[in-house]
Each structure stands twice: as C-alpha cells, then as structure tokens.
Amino acid sequence: MNDIEDLQPSMPDGSSKSRSSNNSTIVEFDDDLMEITQLPSKLESISVVEMEGIEEVVKMGRNDLEDLQQRNSLSATSSKFASTNKSAMVGFDDDFNQIKERLVGQSSMLKIISIVGMGGIGKTTLARNVYNDSYIVHHFYIRAWTTVSQEYNVKELLASLLNSMTDLGDKLYEMEIEELKKNLYQELQCSRYLIVMDDVWETNAWEEVRRLFPDKNNGSRIILTTRLSNVAVYADSSGPIHRMNFLSLEESLKLLNKEVFGEECCPSELEGIGITIAKQCKGLPLALVVIGGLLNKSEKTRAYWEYVAENVKSAVTRNYDDFVKTLSLSYNHLPHHLRACFLYMGVFPEDYVIHVSYLVRLWIAEGFLKPIIPKSLEEVAKECLEDLIDRNLIMVRDRTYSGELKTCSIHDLIRDLIVRKAQEEKFLHVMNQKVEISPEIIKNQRRLSIHGEIQFDVGDMYDSTVRSFLHLAGSILSIDIRFQLLRVLDALNITFKKFPIEIVQLVNLRYIALIYTGKHKIPASISKLCNLQTLIVFRRLMYGKVRILYLPSEILKMPQLRHLLVEEGFLPCPSDAGNGNLQTLTGVIDFRCTEEALRSIPNLKTLGISYRYDSRTKWSICCLENLVNLHQLETLKCDFDLKCWLYICPLAFPPNLKKLTLSGCRISWKNMSNFGSLPNLEVLKLKNIFFEARVWKTNEGEFRKLKFLHIECNNLEFWEVEGTHLPSLQCLSLGYCPRLKCIPSEIGEIPTLQVIALFGCEKSVVTSAYSIQEEQHDLGNDGLQVHNHKDFYKIGNSFRKMYKSNELDPANKLTMRQRIQTYR
C-alpha cells in the first residue's frame, strides 16, 4: 500500500492525483468499484470487485487483491484513492452538468446533493467525475471522499476524511473518536469544502457525521450517493434528489464500443450484433462494462459475438461472480419481511409489466405479510412495494394521477439474480424451456412458475409440496390440478373444458384465476373454500366470444373472499348476511343495487358493473341511486348498453369516490353537477355519453380535486369554463367529439394543466388546443403539451404514461393475453 501511495504525487489541497503514464498506479475502493489501471507487471489475473461505473477491467493476482482488501478494509476510503484523473463518462453529460451546477450555484448555504439509483447504474462514476473536474478542484479549497458501505466503522470513516485534508498519517488511527470529530470540524470550518460520502446504506451513518460539517455560508457542498431513497430524504428532505436513469440504446452502444475498441471504430460486420448485445444490457452501465471487458479480451469474430448475444445475461452473471455480488448487496440489506416479497418477483417472465393490484393479491395469498392495525393487508403490501422501489430494486412503470402505483417491472439482470437466488433457497422454481420434466422434480418444489411450453405428466400430485402454481406463458396447456397443499392457482393460460370441480377439494386455496369453455356454471360447492381470498374466473367459447357466467349466491358468504373479478358474470342478490371483507367486485352484469345487496358488501372499494338494454327494463329496479350507501367505495365503472341513451338513469355516488367511469348512458347537466360536487373525485371518464343539452357550463367550486378528465364519443357542441373551475386538472383528453367546436381558451389558465390529448377531433378543436399551448408558451409556461392523434386505437390505454414519459404505447387492440393481464 505504501508503494502504491508513493506513486501518487501530492496535490496542494492534500489530495492526490496520478498522471497518466505507463508507470502510474490508481487504486480506488467503493462498495461497487475497485478500479486498477496501468498496474505493475507482477499482477496477472482478471478480477472485478464490487463494480459500479467501472471504466477498465485489468489484470490482477488473487493474492495481491486479497492483501489490498485486507489492508484497506473496504469500509471507509479516503480521497487519496478517489481523487484520480477523471474516468471517461458515457451518457452522463446531463447528469454531470446538473450536479456541477448545483455544486457551484448561487446559494451560499451548505447544500446536500443526493445521487440515488440501483447498483451498477453509475452513481460513483458520476460523483467521481464531478469530484475531479478541474473547475470543481479550483472552486473548493478542501475536497474529501469517503466510501461508507454497509459495514462501516465510524472511526475509520472519520480518519479517512481527515486523511484527505491533513498530513497526520498514522497518528489519525491512534486518536479517539471524539478527537477525530474535533479535528474534522476544525479543518472544515474556515474553508469552502466538498465532501463526497459514497455508498451510504444507513441513516445512522449520516447521523454520525452530519454535525461535523459546519455551515459558514461559504458555498460548501456535500455529495451523498446511495441506493436507498429514504437515506437521501433523511439527509436532506428539502432538496431535490438526483435520480440516475438507465442509458439510452445510443449511449449503451457508445459505452460498449468504448470498452471493446477504445478509440477505434467497431467493424461494420459486428455493428448489428453489437446493437443486439447493447439492447440486452437494458441500459445498465455495469453490465455494459462487464460484457465489454469480456468482448475486449476475446476474438472479435462474428460467430463469437453471436454466441455472446444469445447469452448476454449468463455471460454477465455466471462468469463474473463479483457482478452478482454487487447486486446481491441490495438483497442482503433487505429486512427479513421484504426478502420473500422480493424473491417472489421471479415468478414473472422477462419484461413483464406487473400490475400492482395483481402483485398485492399474490403476496397476500402467499402469506408474506402480517396485518398492522389499523391498516389493511393491501395497504401493508403497497408500503412494502414502495420500500422495494425506494431501494431501487423495482422500477415504477406507471402511477395513477393520485400518485398510487399502477404498474411496475424489474430490470432483467435483477430478475436473473432473483431467479438464481430463489432456486438456490428452494423458494421458487421457474420453468421456461421446451423440456420434459419428471413429476418427482415438480413434487418437491414449493412454487412453480411456467414461462414456456413445458410438457410434463402431472401424474399423482396429491402428496406434492407445491403451494403455488402460476402459468404465465402465452401458450395454452391443458392439465389437471392435483396439488393438495395448493394455495395459489394462476391458470388463466390453461384451457379447462369445464369448471375444474376438483379444486373445491383443495381447501388451502387462497387465490384462483382460471378460464374455462364449457356451459357449466360455477358450482355452489365453491363456498367450501373457506380460505379463498381472490377469485378470478373467465368463461369463453371459441373465437373469443364471451358467454354469461352464472355465479352462485353463496359466493358472497365466503368469509375470507376479498376480490371477485369476472367477465360478464350474473350474481343474484344475496338473501341473507354477506361478506364484510369483500373489497373488489368487477364484471357483474345487471346487478341490482338494493339496500339488502349493498348491506352484504359494506366495505367494497372497487365496483365494476354493466347493464344491458331490455325494453321491459325499468331502471328503478336496478336501484342505482343506492350506490351512495357504499361509503368505502373509491372506484366505480358503470357501463350501459348504447340503447340506454333513451333513458336518464338515476345515479348517486358516495363522497369517497375517487375514480368514476361511465359509458353508454344519457346524462343530464344536473348529473354533471353531482359529479362536480364529489369532494374526492380525481378521475372522470365519460364515454359514449348523450348529454341532455349540448352546452356544458362548469361552475365555481366544482371538480376541486379532478386531475384527469376524459370525454369520448358524445354530442357536446360548446363548453363554457373558467380557469378556476377545474383547479387541479392535469390532463384533458378528448376523443371523437364530432360536434365540439373548440376547446375554451380558459382551459389554458388552469395552473396545473400539463397535457391536452386529442384523438380523432375536428380541425377546429385541434387548432384551439395548439393556440392554447402557444399562448401559454408566450406567458412562460413551457410545461403544457398537446398531443394530437387521428386514430384513437393506435395509442395505448394509459394517458398518464403518455404525459409523464412522452412515450405512446403501441396498438390498443387488446389481445386475450392483455385482457387477462389486466384482470390479474
């Protein structure tokens, strides 16, 4: 270690900086990175240790590496090892400029800048390049870098910071903690300083040192890098968090080419394969650097690159144990109650968009969560999911306008780690190849997730240990379910010719999702499943035609049932006491909302109902005005046959309602005023609506919390509104309103408005939307966007995703598989 330090000339500020020469040596230690370049010739074998944003992979002997690790301890590292020449960055230019601007900004107060992201995304690389920037070096009189890591030592942490600023040398390690604190404070109080605390895992680590950083109004700054959002918020809840994003495909390809070819160009015959390899790294710099190092040391032939392109993830995770170790740090840091939830994410195939409601039901059915009074299990599950997101282990795909999670996903390399870990611990077995698997192997698994066309003979599975069986492949498989201990059965991709009556004997079942084609209704004996929490049933004939599914009245008497989701299901009114646990009821047709029926489901939060036209129908028998008695109801979707335009349906809604979707009915403006008076309404969708009058006048005080308004296919001609009438509106969506003349210019005065989305609207409407945008831009409001699409069915369902990421989903023609995923 002394020899290495001798090779680093001292800098005026007490740090060290190595010049680029054949004899220079740079050693850096982070939790995610040990970078060694231009090493002496005695080091011989490749090693990559705890990498994040590594720029070069070089040769080093195992004994030398172990010796360096032992002597440095990897717990806290001074800037003598971080203050090196800048590593070349790819794809972080915007991040670099933003951080640099915040470091040298106008504010003279002490500022804390947190850089947050998953392991391997480049936090340390970004911080290091900013730290070593020539302007930053000149701007700050004192700079110090310390790497905290999971297992930190307070004394070593303080000593490493002081070692960056003083020449006390070994004396530092003879001082007590209080003396070190005193010296550190004294060194910092008279100078403008920059401190980097890299890889912070605990709020306690920050708490140990935060009082030692004086604020003398001289523009001092602290950079903190972490994988945990809560640590960043704890350090400074007032300042914005800088979140690292994945590299784009162009940036990924640039980084990959740099690692493989340096300053040279990629041969033309390898360009296409290089793009394929870069895509599979999914924008994670660590993966690109590792695979780039592998390709750099190998023959640059088309055949070899094609082999690597087919095995990118295995090449990264199986050939580089240190890469897995880097990502495993996040898993090892999880509290016990989150580990099962995290490993369970392995049941989903690659690139699977996971609906949060689906995931929450599965977690609850698996028994991973314990109730915390007064919270429901669903609320506890969502908090656990938010925790995993804050740890940058799960990615948010979409949120609702109220901020609630809607969909999420996992990075492919994180998923690969999960699957390997889950199979090692016999937690989960994933089958995704076209192979024959013996019944004996299956019998000894606790959870089975099918991702491909798996062919196997179930045989006698009555004594199997399988608790969960999920078939998530796109193919159709016909089998019998005979797992005695089964808790979770997700079989929406399995075709049953009739309702599998044998499952009513599986008394441990908590979750059932299936589809069948026969004519038999769901048997009343399903009520024997006293532990069942979620029931999702489709009934479908050939060519995708839906037939009415008849549900037994006993189904509402099942004591643990929380979620009942069907498609075109008829549910008779209960004759006696119902279910106080039921939260979700969707897909029910012609449901009579009598007081007796609603009393049987008093805690319902989500209701989806539809009504078909019948000339003999009297809407009074539907009792829709009684919906006001569902005091816990938050989401309501009510569809009517288009012929219902002939009638005004009496409607009344409970005050807790947040999301309302109506389609196919006639509405009076009195109804619209009722909608506007709902105190918690955030989302309103009106589709195929016939308005009594063709002019809509909103009033002051209406729609106070409305964030998303979608109006589609109606006879509306004029709309009169003031900028104060919809004070919280974020997105206005209009589709196929052939008579509407224009959008009132006052819409642009709504301060929260971010998007106007138009689909198949008249030219005058489109013109008025762009005029509103131009007017707002002239006033300095550049945030308002207008999206115009001629064909509504060529965009995705999610307007939230559109206005947040400016990316449109592909075709909106829902396949059976997409519909199934939504119901899951």
User: CB neighbours of 355 closer than 8 A, spacing ≥ 6?
Assistant: 406, 407, 821, 822, 824
Task: Report pLDDT digits (tens) over 137-186.
Answer: 999 999 999 889 888 888 888 888 888 787 777 777 788 889 899 989 98
Residue-averaged pLDDT of the chain: 78
Contact 228, 391 (CB under 8 A): yes
Q: What is the mean pLDDT of residues 638-651?
A: 69
What is the pTM for the complete model shown? 0.76
Weakest mean pLDDT among 191-205, 384-398, 456-470, 771-785: 456-470
Contact 492, 513 (CB under 8 A): yes
Q: What is the mean pLDDT of residues 420-447?
A: 76
* pLDDT for residue 617: 58
> How many Cα atoms within 13 Å fall on the side-chain side of residue 407?
16
* pLDDT for residue 462: 56
Q: Whole-angstrom Cα distance, residue 424 to residue 346? A: 13
Number of C-beta neighbours around residue 144 at 10 A: 29
- In three-state secondary structure terms, 798 is coil
Please give the angle made by the CA atoms of 346, 347 and 348, to the nearest 5 degrees: 90
pLDDT interval class at 778 (50, 70, 90): confident
Please give the angle made by the CA atoms of 739, 742 and 745, to the nearest 5 degrees: 155
DSSP state for residue 660 in the 8-state scheme: E
User: Topology of domain 334-410, per CATH?
Assistant: Arc Repressor Mutant, subunit A (1.10.10)
Tokens at residue 721, please? 């509104």
- In three-state secondary structure terms, 639 is strand
The answer to whether the bond into 374 is cis (omega within 30° of 0) is yes
Q: Which three-class secondary structure string do you get for 247-261?
A: CCHHHHHHHHHHHHH
* pLDDT for residue 530: 92
pLDDT interval class at 643 (50, 70, 90): low
What is the chain's length?
Answer: 824
**Between 414 and 578, where is the model more confident?**
414
Is residue 132 pLDDT above 60, yes or no? yes
Tokens at residue 646, please? 């002939």
Weakest mean pLDDT among 529-533, 547-551, 613-617: 613-617
Is residue 65 pLDDT above 50, yes or no? no
Q: What is the mean pLDDT of residues 61-70?
A: 32
pLDDT interval class at 614 (50, 70, 90): low
pLDDT interval class at 790 (50, 70, 90): low
Q: Whole-angstrom Cα distance, residue 527 to residue 541? A: 25
pLDDT interval class at 702 (50, 70, 90): confident
Q: Whole-angstrom Cα distance, residue 743 to residue 343? A: 49
Distances (CA, A) of 257 to 97, 292, 475, 497: 24, 7, 38, 54
pLDDT interval class at 793 (50, 70, 90): very low
pLDDT interval class at 546 (50, 70, 90): low
Alpha-carbon Rg of the chain, whole angstroms? 31
Q: What is the mean pLDDT of residues 723-740?
A: 89
Is residue 300 pLDDT above 90, yes or no? no
pLDDT interval class at 27 (50, 70, 90): very low
Q: What is 2-243's CATH number, 3.30.460.10, 3.40.50.300, 2.40.420.20, 3.40.190.10?
A: 3.40.50.300
